[in-house]
Amino acid sequence: MSRLTKKMSFAAVLAIAITLALPGAASAIPLTLTGPIAGNTVGPQSTSNPCVIAGTQCSQPAGFGFNNFTSSGNISSYNMYSTTPTATVADGVQGTPYTVAQINGVTGGTAFKIAIDVNTTQEAGETLQLFEVIINGAVVYNYIGPTNIGNIANNGNGFGDWTLGNIDLSGFAPTATVLFHAVWTGASDGAESFFIVPGTPTNVPEPNSLLLLGAGMSALGILRFRNRSK
């Protein structure tokens, strides 16, 4: 095989590998759900912990909004996205994204968790089905249920009953867009609140960079195997 042919073969293999690795085939980074949290140690929301999704009035930093969704115990399921500035965004409709710079500005760093203030006290009641962090249109972090998050003794008091995290935006440009998406069922009391609390930086590289690196390594391995087999 000529050197030119080898170069062309490598380019073709690399292009295929990158195509397979790009969003759609990529896996999101799983989030850890922690709780129930006793003792009112996470929050309260009113002290510089801004809401991203909540059916109640939240104390927000200037210019940082949330989806003030319409809540009711008669609604069996919710499919809510964040938005900014504060507005009421309908079920299943994507809101206006934040930027990484906006979020870093309210967290004081690049890492954070999402606290969930649950209002349902029934033991077999509320269920978290899904939570996603969507960056530049792709799901980068997620939690996939279903998980019972009801049976909360201190429901609806402004403190987090569960946390989802750790989420680190250090690998993304300040202008990158960020949306939060939560799906839950079985809420039978007041409104739930999803709000940001500081986390621990983990220096997670931007997923696309990891995908390109992995694709390149895969292509090299495929090409080396082909050359040895001839």
State the pLDDT at residue 105.
94
State the pLDDT at residue 120.
77
Query: Does residue 228 have a pLDDT over 70?
Result: no
| H/E run at residue 112 | strand 111-117
State the pLDDT at residue 220.
45
State the pLDDT at residue 71.
85
Question: Rounded to two decimals, what is the model's pTM?
Answer: 0.78
- The domain limits of the chain are 28-206
**Digit-coded pLDDT (tens) for 99-117:** 999 999 999 999 999 999 9
Query: Does residue 211 have a pLDDT over 70?
Result: no
**Digit-coded pLDDT (tens) for 24-56:** 435 899 999 999 998 889 999 999 899 999 998
The structure tokens 């440009």 sit at 173
Proportion of the chain above pLDDT 70, given as a percent: 75
State the pLDDT at residue 190.
78
**Nearest to residue 80, comparing CAs of 146, 72, 70, 160?**
70
Instruction: Count Cβ atoms within 10 A of the Cβ of residue 30 and give its class: 0-12 exposed, 13-18 middle, 19 or more buried.
Output: exposed
DSSP 173-211: -TT-EEEEEEEEE---SS--EEEEEE-----PPPHHHHH
CA distance 90 to 69: 7
Proportion of the chain above pLDDT 90, given as a percent: 58
Residue 65's φ and ψ, nearest 5 degrees, are -100, 180
Cα of 230 vs its chain's centroid, Å:
46
Q: What is the mean pLDDT of residues 168-183?
A: 97
| H/E run at residue 14 | helix 3-21
45 secondary structure, DSSP code: T
> Mean pLDDT, the chain, as a whole number?
81
